[in-house]
């Protein structure tokens, strides 16, 4: 068996055909994400492929990030999933070696691989996050009766308050982004550019939608949904905390679940969280269960495991200051900063 690696320059359909043949593949492996990430952030991508006897047997999409936070490669930044996607161990090992050679050539400090399971026990790893995943029932009624009383009452409270649910695509992007900018500022987190979400909606028609919760015509909660295989995700969701007492977040997640049921999907991925955090507990109350995320690293000699998350005490002052900035300033400065934070 002969395995060789390459920087993939072939037809996107050939790459996607391999991805579709792998039942465990997240949607972010699709080749369209190469264009989305390049156009949105300007980073150089290196999509590596392994071929066994000429046929693709593994892929590893990498994004090269260079900026104020360092020089490194990530598979994949800005989303939860990525890393090696291979048919066999030989292809996996060949791609790891190719990634290591690429790191050396680019003088990158490390390669971060966002896996959901151990791919090589010798690789150092961080297991600081979990994905919260809810199994979807066969029907809306079964889903509803499976919730605890508190969740059902919170959804009813939002409905009784007259909150309106609106579905759409690009025509709702401005409303979505208005809520997103406000929420990210309040969390002390730099915001993505509006163009990132515009590129997602344009590049993934038919598998993305925006769900919006309005109060008297004003957007107060919003989420961008993405589905692939049997899984529905809500990777970007926000609400304005001034309206927390009306439970708009609860109504939004319930409407997202209903959407997944209508599509016949089996899993609802509520996104990643830190164990026992506020977002973890919010997602857990729906019945979601944690799935440990394993982010593996190829490190340069003497390098320590990186930590660019907002849990790093180094960033506590910056987070506190960011929360005090005017929204207009965070909308302008945020995209310049966050493009370098994977």
* Distances from the Cα of 126 to the Cα of 36, 51, 217, 334, angstroms: 27, 29, 43, 26
Q: Tell me the C-alpha to C-alpha distance, in Å, between residue 38 and each of 80, 90, 294.
A: 18, 30, 25
* Mean pLDDT value across the chain: 95
CATH number 3.40.630.30 is the correct assignment for the domain at 131-292? yes
State the architecture of 3-127+293-306 in CATH terms.
3-Layer(aba) Sandwich (3.40)
The two beta strands, 267-273 and 231-239, are parallel
- Max CA distance (Å), the chain: 65
Tens digit of pLDDT for each residue in 205-253? 999 999 999 999 999 999 999 999 999 999 999 999 999 999 999 999 9
Q: Is it the case that residue 36 has pLDDT exceeding 70?
A: yes
Do the domains 3-127+293-306 and 131-292 sit in the same CATH topology, yes or no? yes
Interacting residues of 222 by C-beta distance below 8 A, sequence separation 6+: 172, 175, 176, 179, 180, 210, 211, 212, 213, 237, 238, 239, 252
Return the closest-CA partner of residue 202 out of 87, 42, 55, 33.
33
pLDDT tens for each residue of 167-213 = 999 999 999 999 999 999 999 999 999 999 999 999 999 999 999 99
User: What is the residue whose two structure tokens read 């809500």?
Assistant: 234
CB 73, CB 96: distance < 8 Å: no
Share of the chain above pLDDT 70, in %: 99
Domain ranges of the chain: 3-127+293-306, 131-292
pLDDT at 21 over 70: yes
What percentage of residues in the chain have a pLDDT greater than 90?
Answer: 89
* Secondary structure letter of residue 133 according to DSSP: E
Percentages of the chain per state (helix, strand, coil), in multiples of 5: 40, 30, 30
**pLDDT given at position 1:** 67
> For position 272, what pLDDT does the model report?
94
């Amino acid at each position: 068996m002969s395995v060789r690696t390459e920087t993939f320059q072939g037809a996107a359909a050939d790459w996607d055909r391999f991805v579709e043949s792998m039942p465990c593949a997240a949607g972010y492996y699709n080749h369209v994400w190469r264009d989305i990430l390049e156009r949105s952030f300007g980073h150089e991508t290196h999509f590596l492929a392994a071929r066994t006897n000429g046929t693709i047997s593994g892929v590893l999409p990498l994004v090269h990030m260079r900026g104020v936070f360092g020089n490194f490669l990530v598979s994949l930044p800005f989303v939860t999933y990525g890393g090696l996607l291979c048919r066999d161990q030989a292809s996996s090992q060949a791609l790891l070696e190719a990634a290591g050679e690429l790191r050396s050539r680019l003088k990158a400090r490390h390669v971060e691989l966002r896996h959901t399971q151990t791919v090589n026990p010798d690789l150092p790893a961080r297991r600081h996050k979990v994905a919260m995943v809810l199994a979807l029932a066969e029907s809306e009624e079964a889903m509803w009766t499976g919730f605890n009383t508190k969740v059902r009452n919170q959804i009813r409270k939002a409905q009784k308050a007259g909150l309106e649910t609106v579905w759409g695509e690009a025509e709702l992007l401005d409303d979505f982004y208005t809520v997103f900018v406000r929420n990210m500022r309040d969390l002390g987190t730099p915001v993505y550019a509006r163009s990132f979400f515009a590129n997602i909606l344009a590049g993934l028609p038919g598998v993305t939608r925006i769900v919006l919760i309005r109060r008297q015509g004003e957007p107060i909660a919003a989420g961008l949904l993405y589905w692939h295989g049997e899984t529905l995700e809500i990777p970007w969701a926000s609400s304005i905390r001034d309206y927390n007492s009306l439970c708009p977040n609860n109504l939004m997640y319930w409407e997202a679940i209903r959407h997944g049921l209508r599509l016949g999907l089996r899993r609802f991925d509520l996104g990643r969280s830190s164990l026992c955090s506020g977002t973890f507990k919010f997602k857990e109350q729906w019945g979601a269960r944690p799935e440990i995320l394993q982010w593996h690293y190829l490190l340069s000699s003497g390098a320590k495991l990186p930590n660019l998350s907002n849990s790093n005490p180094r960033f506590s002052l910056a987070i506190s200051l960011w929360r005090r900035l005017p929204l207009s300033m965070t909308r302008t400065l945020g995209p310049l900063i966050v493009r370098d934070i994977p």
